[in-house]
């Protein structure tokens, strides 16, 4: 193993995953540097969510290697063990405890926090309180600490869930289509949040909204039929013949352009 190889936070090598003979992920090789914010785009069915399922241990690969940090083989671990290593995943639909306050939601997610019943009767110590307020301020919800999570807007629920993930201090954050269903303003704020987290955490974002991709992306990976079609800056990817063909070839889908007026 070479020296350069050591700085990857995530490495997938020749990974294949079939469902009933259909290769959802096909000989996929993908590397991500520590601290990087990477965006993965691709048409529906390209295998983006399956890729996250494979990283998080929700699905097992048929073939290939998936390594985290310094040579940790993720394919041998279960979902819970992978989460404990510091890989947090944010699904598309927010899942927060709607009957609990924003503050309590973060509290319940803190590293080492106990179960929901214990928390109801336990007291928050001052170190925890500071940490919870820091997290709320990071995700822009400090004013909402006492609000029931159920009455937050869709965007605020998404930020709360990102805060809940951050409470576990993940090394790698996997975020599936965070801008879906958000207003333009919420989308922009989400972009700023993710940019502010990059460096401290490594972040892999799956996204469709090209305005948002342009806002946050340094390096974009285009996934198509379960493999990498192209990698580069947003401009490089948008100008790539193969990428244009894939999106145009789909007929109804437009090529990934920035939705500028
Ligand atoms: P994307 O997130 O890029 O839209 P997915 O990873 O969800 O794509 O799906 C890739 C392909 O794999 C699709 O054709 C999908 O139908 C198929 N697929 C994904 N998960 C399963 C599963 N659990 N069982 C059968 N087929 C699946
Ligand atoms: Mg998907």
Assign residue 31 the CATH number of its domain: 3.40.50.300
Question: Which residue's C-alpha comes closest to atom 23 of ligand 1?
Answer: 19
Residue 254: its pLDDT value, please?
Answer: 56
pLDDT of 120-154, one tens digit each? 666 788 888 999 999 999 999 999 999 999 999 99
Asked whether residue 159 is assigned to any structural domain, the reply reads no
**Mutation pick for ligand 1 pocket among 17, 18, 43, 47 (CB with most ligand atoms within 8 Å):** 47
Q: What pLDDT score does 65 carry? A: 97
Q: Which one, of 168, 162, 19, lies nearest residue 84 by Cα?
A: 168
Compute the distance from residue 97 Cα to the ligand 2 centre, in Å: 24
Nearest alpha carbon, ligand 1 atom 5: 47
pLDDT of the residue at 248? 66
Question: How many independent structural domains does the chain possess?
Answer: 2
Q: Are residues 117 and 243 in the same domain?
A: no
Residues of the chain predicted below pLDDT 50: 1-6, 251-252, 260-261
Spatial CA neighbour of 205 closest among 75, 92, 65: 92
Concatenate the DSSP letters of all residues of the chain into one string. Answer: --SGGGGEEEEEEEEEEEETTEEEEEEEEEEEETT-EEEEE--TTSSHHHHHHHHHTSS--SEEEEEETTTEEGGGS-HHHHHHTTEEEE-SS----TTSBHHHHHHHHSTT---HHHHHHS---HHHHHHHHHHHHHTT-GGGTTSBGGGS-HHHHHHHHHHHHHTT--SEEEEE-TTTT--HHHHHHHHHHHHHHBTTBEEEEE---HHHHHHH-SEEEEEETTEEEEEE-HHHHHH-HHHHHHHHHTSSSPP------
CA of 24 to the centre of ligand 1 (A): 6
Do 142 and 175 sit in the same domain of this protein?
no
Ligand 1 pocket by C-beta < 6 Å: which residues? 19, 24, 42, 44-50
Question: Is residue 108 located within the same domain as residue 217?
Answer: no
CA of 123 to the centre of ligand 2 (A): 39
Q: Which of 16, 18, 23, 24 to mutate to test the pocket of ligand 1 (most atoms within 8 A of CB)?
A: 24
The predicted structure's pLDDT at residue 142: 96
Residue 175 is predicted with a pLDDT of: 96
Task: Answer yes or no: do 78 and 102 share one domain.
Answer: no
131 in the same domain as 48: no
pTM for this model (two decimals) = 0.90
Residue 201 counted as domain residue: yes
Q: Does a structural domain hold residue 69? A: yes
Whether 104 and 119 share a structural domain: yes
Q: How confident is the model at residue 169, as a pLDDT?
A: 92
Give the residue, out of 12, 17, 18, 19, with the most ligand 1 atoms within 8 A of its beta carbon, to mutate for a pocket test.
19
Instruction: With respect to residue 41, please indicate whether it lies within any of the assigned structural domains.
Output: yes
Determine, yes or no, domain membership for 157: no
Which of the ligands is closest to the CA of residue 43?
Answer: 1
Q: How confident is the model at residue 112, as a pLDDT?
A: 62
Output the CA 199–ligand 2 centroid distance in Å.
Answer: 25
Q: What does the pLDDT read at residue 220?
A: 96
Domain around 60: 3-95+171-248
Residue 89 shares a structural domain with residue 101: no
Which protein residue has the closest C-alpha to ligand 1 atom 12? 24
Same domain, 122 and 225: no
Give residue 126's pLDDT: 86
Looking at the structure, tell me whether residues 219 and 201 fall in a common domain.
yes
Residues 7 and 81 in one domain: yes
Co-location of 8 and 130 in the same domain: no
71 and 176 housed in the same domain? yes
What residues pack around ion ligand 2 (CB closer than 5 A)? 48-49
What is the 18 CA–ligand 1 centroid distance (Å)? Answer: 9
Query: Cα(148) to centroid of ligand 1, in Å?
Result: 34
Q: Is residue 257 part of a domain?
A: no
Tell me, what's the pLDDT at 261? Answer: 44
In-domain check, residue 259: no
Domain assignment of residue 209, yes or no = yes
């Amino acid at each position: 193993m070479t020296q350069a190889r050591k700085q990857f936070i995530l490495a997938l090598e020749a990974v294949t995953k079939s469902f009933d003979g259909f290769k959802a992920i096909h000989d996929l090789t993908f590397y991500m540097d520590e601290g990087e914010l990477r965006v993965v785009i691709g048409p529906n069915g390209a295998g983006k969510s399956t890729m996250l399922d494979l990283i998080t241990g929700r699905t097992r690969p048929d073939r290939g290697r998936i390594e985290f940090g310094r040579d940790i083989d993720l394919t041998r671990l279960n979902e819970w063990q992978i989460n404990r290593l510091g890989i947090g995943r944010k699904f598309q639909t927010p899942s927060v405890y709607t009957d609990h306050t924003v503050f309590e939601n973060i509290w319940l997610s803190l590293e080492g926090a106990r179960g929901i019943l214990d928390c109801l009767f336990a007291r928050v110590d001052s170190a925890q309180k500071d940490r919870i307020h820091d997290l709320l301020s990071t995700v822009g919800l400090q004013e909402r600490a006492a609000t029931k999570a159920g009455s937050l807007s869709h965007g605020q629920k998404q930020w709360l869930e990102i805060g809940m993930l951050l409470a576990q201090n993940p090394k790698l954050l996997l975020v599936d289509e965070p801008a879906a269903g958000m207003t333009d303003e919420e989308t922009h704020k989400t972009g700023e949040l993710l940019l502010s987290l990059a460096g401290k955490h490594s972040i892999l974002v799956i996204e469709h909204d090209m305005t948002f991709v342009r806002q946050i992306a340094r390096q974009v990976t285009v996934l198509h039929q379960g493999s990498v079609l192209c990698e580069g800056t947003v401009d490089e990817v948008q100008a790539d013949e193969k990428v244009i063909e894939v999106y145009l070839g789909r007929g109804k889908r437009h090529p990934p352009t920035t939705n500028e007026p």
